[in-house]
């Protein structure tokens, strides 16, 4: 597999942060290729660069060096509006901060993502919520959801644009074991249809469903 055939590739990513005198080398030459339908789990201690890597892969943050490609198309070092467009069309993002807009219902959050990515609904939004087991909460606002419901609603939103690539930070972070199993089954089903995923996690259960588990330490892969 080369960078052109991978669904998602990162070539030697560097990211530095400077706060006063202090410099942090969050990513120090991280490369990654994720094949179609592959689930890659990324683990590593706190501060090892996992969230920074995911943000660069999503085009939400810009690497100081290196390049991210989605379906062979350059994402890094592009204008903001182009990165947003590529993200809307090809990437589903689920970060710990959440991806639900507070003032919209669950169903409207899903519809908004579909509209931004020009994905026709044809009942798919409702299907997605049914698959996640939260269709009965479609009319609820995010603050009215339990932790597990919010996690599943977030996942529905991440999948609403039918993305080629899903990037998720602890997708099962605050859910019970039953909900975790349910989410993992859904992720595996999605991967089987060709969706590629990078999942940051500390959970052994999540790592167990991944095709590969990679470990970061101090901004580098641990061999
Ligand atoms: N915006 C920023 N400004 C300054 N330093 C930052 C910034 N974002 C991240 N860092 C630093 O970069 C390093 C990597 O952070 P990152 O959040 O990627 O780690 P992580 O592996 O996701 O950690 P955790 O598991 O605790 O979420 C840390 O030392 C962090 O303090």
Protein residue closest via CA to atom 16 of ligand 1? 49
Q: Which SS3 state, helix, strand or coil, does residue 31 take? A: strand
Residue 2 lies in a domain: no
Six-digit token pair at 136?
């009965």
Give the Å distance between the CA of 40 and the centre of ligand 1: 20
| Contacts with 83 (C-beta within 8 Å, 6 or more apart), sequence order | 59, 75
Q: How many other CB atoms are there within 10 angstroms of residue 189's CB atom?
A: 11
Residue 125 lies in a domain: yes
What is the per-residue pLDDT for 173? Answer: 80
Give the Å distance between the CA of 25 and the centre of ligand 1: 9
Q: What is the DSSP letter of 134?
A: -
The stretches of 41-90 forming alpha helices (DSSP H) are 50-58, 80-90
Q: Is 219 in the pocket of ligand 1 (CB under 6 A)?
A: no
pLDDT tens track for 92-110:
998 876 788 999 999 999 9
H or E stretch at 106: helix 106-116
| Contacts with 176 (C-beta within 8 Å, 6 or more apart), sequence order | 148
Q: How many other CB atoms are there within 10 angstroms of residue 28's CB atom?
A: 17
What is the per-residue pLDDT for 180? Answer: 87
Query: Would you say the C-alpha torsion 11, 192, 52, 45 has a positive or negative sign?
Result: negative
Residue 74 lies in a domain: yes
What is the per-residue pLDDT for 200? Answer: 95
Q: Is 137 in the pocket of ligand 1 (CB under 6 A)?
A: no
Q: Which SS3 state, helix, strand or coil, does residue 178 take? A: helix
pLDDT tens track for 149-204:
888 899 999 999 889 999 999 888 878 888 888 889 989 999 999 999 999 998 89
Closest ligand 1 atom to residue 53 Cα is 18
Six-digit token pair at 63?
């690497």
Residue 97 lies in a domain: yes
Six-digit token pair at 189?
């089903």
Q: Is 44 in the pocket of ligand 1 (CB under 6 A)?
A: yes
**What angle do the packed helices 147-159 and 124-131 form, to 10 degrees?**
140
What is the CATH classification number for the domain harbouring 105? 3.40.50.300
For a substitution probing ligand 1, which of 48, 168, 219 has the most ligand atoms within 8 Å of its CB? 48
Note if the pTM is more than 0.80. yes
Beta bridge partners of 10: 32, 68
Residue 1 lies in a domain: no
Residue 3 lies in a domain: no
- Average pLDDT in the 40-49 region? 96
Q: Kindly tell me if the per-residue pLDDT of 86 is higher than 80.
A: yes
Confidence class for position 116, pLDDT limits 50, 70, 90: confident
Domain count, the chain: 1
- Average pLDDT in the 113-134 region? 85
Q: Is 52 in the pocket of ligand 1 (CB under 6 A)?
A: yes
Q: Are strands 73-74 and 65-70 parallel, antiparallel or unpaired?
A: antiparallel
What is the per-residue pLDDT for 122? Answer: 76
Closest ligand 1 atom to residue 216 Cα is 21
What is the domain extent for residue 15? 8-221
What is the per-residue pLDDT for 5? Answer: 63
What is the per-residue pLDDT for 2? Answer: 57
Residue 193 lies in a domain: yes
What is the per-residue pLDDT for 119? Answer: 77
């Amino acid at each position: 597999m080369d960078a052109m055939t991978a669904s998602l590739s990162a070539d030697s990513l560097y990211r530095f942060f400077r706060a006063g005198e202090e410099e942090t080398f969050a990513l120090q030459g991280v490369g990654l290729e994720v094949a179609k339908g592959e689930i890659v789990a990324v683990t590593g201690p706190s501060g090892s660069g996992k969230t920074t890597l995911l943000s660069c892969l999503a085009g939400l943050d810009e690497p100081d060096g290196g390049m991210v490609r989605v379906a062979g198309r350059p994402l890094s070092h592009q204008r903001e509006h182009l990165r947003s467009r590529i993200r809307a069309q090809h990437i589903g993002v689920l970060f710990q901060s959440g991806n639900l807009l507070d003032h919209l219902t669950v169903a409207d959050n899903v519809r908004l993502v579909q509209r931004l990515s020009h994905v026709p609904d044809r009942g798919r939004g409702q299907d997605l919520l049914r698959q996640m087991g939260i269709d009965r909460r479609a009319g609820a606002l995010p603050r009215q959801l339990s932790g597990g419901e919010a996690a599943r609603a977030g996942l529905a939103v991440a999948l609403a644009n039918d993305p080629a690539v899903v990037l998720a930070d602890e997708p099962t972070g605050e859910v019970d074991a039953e909900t975790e199993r349910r989410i993992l089954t859904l992720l595996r089903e999605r991967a089987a249809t060709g969706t590629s995923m990078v999942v940051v996690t500390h959970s052994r259960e999540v790592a167990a469903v991944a095709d590969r588990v990679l470990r970061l330490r101090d901004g580098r892969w641990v061999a």
